[in-house]
Amino acid sequence: MFLKKRRLKYQDFINNVEMDAMPKPKNKPKVQALLDKINPPIEKIDKVKQEFIKPQTEDEWQKFHKMNEDGMKKAYESKEGYYKDNNKLFIAGTRDVQDVLDWPKIPLGTFQKSKIYKNVEPVFKEDDNINYVVGHSAGGSATLELENNFPNRKITSITYNAPIFERASTDIMDDLRDDNKPMRFASGWDPVSALDMNARTTYKAPEINLDIAKNISKVYKNPSLDNVINTVKSGFPDPLMGQHNMQGTYSNPSTAKDFIESGAKAIVAGNTLGTFLGNAIP
């Protein structure tokens, strides 16, 4: 005698089947489209959240620059010369001799063959989520190269102190609201980005290292081992006096007080070195 097949009750089904394994109702395309519009899937919500919104207030701009400065600091500290944070990619500029040798590739239009670009292109290609790319100095050239080589990605490209040559655009100059300017930033006295006439320009008080001037003078007067070590520790003078440095230049712009203090330091350093040179030259 055959056993009679027992019909499964609703409770039996719930108790023995995992929720993920339960059959899911399939809506008609038009119904599903309407439901997605009313309540979009999580992945679509995340994508909207990552879209770039241009800062409007001074406070928003400073937070924007601080975020980029922090990301760029990590890029310079990394072994590869870049830092990826979710949908953001930060590209450092010149860091070694090979990067210096790649400089001629910028005006020649062959920067895609540079070490900096070759390091970041695979990362950019493999992660479709990257839609926000920031570059400093030669890293800015790599940023613009990515934007040019991958036009369908429609990334937000942002550069700081990049070596760009572009004549002033009448349309941009006439826009008093500054909304039409590209997302390129430069320091007014930085020779590297001086030829980018359409960059958003800021001015930074020159960084004067008084310790270097004082220690050089001390070494001349008393060339002891301690004085020599102190001079080496004080570092080498920056010929650009901090104008090409991105850190703090944009998130914490110089005030009138900063320029006055910088000028006072320059006078002291000049007098110190002048005295040293006057004594050193027979």
pLDDT score of 176: 47
Q: Tell me the domain boundaries of the chain.
A: 56-202, 210-280
Using a 10 angstrom Cβ sphere, with 0-12 exposed, 13-18 middle and 19 or more buried, the burial of residue 253 is middle
Using a 10 angstrom Cβ sphere, with 0-12 exposed, 13-18 middle and 19 or more buried, the burial of residue 147 is middle
Pair type for strands 184-187 and 200-202: parallel
- Six-digit token pair at 264? 């006072």
Give the integer Cα–Cα distance in Å for 14 and 5.
19
In sequence order, what are the residues at sequence separation of 6 or more whose Cβ sits closer than 8 angstroms to the Cβ of residue 12? none
Give the integer Cα–Cα distance in Å for 85 and 73.
13
First-last CA distance in the chain: 124
Give the integer Cα–Cα distance in Å for 210 and 206.
12
Run means of pLDDT, 10 residues per run, the chain, 282 residues = 52 49 63 67 51 89 96 96 96 95 94 96 96 97 96 94 84 55 91 91 84 62 66 66 90 92 81 55 47
pLDDT score of 87: 95
pTM for the structure as a whole:
0.72
Q: Which CATH architecture has domain 56-202?
A: 2-Layer Sandwich (3.30)
- How many other CB atoms sit within 10 Å of the CB of residue 146? 23
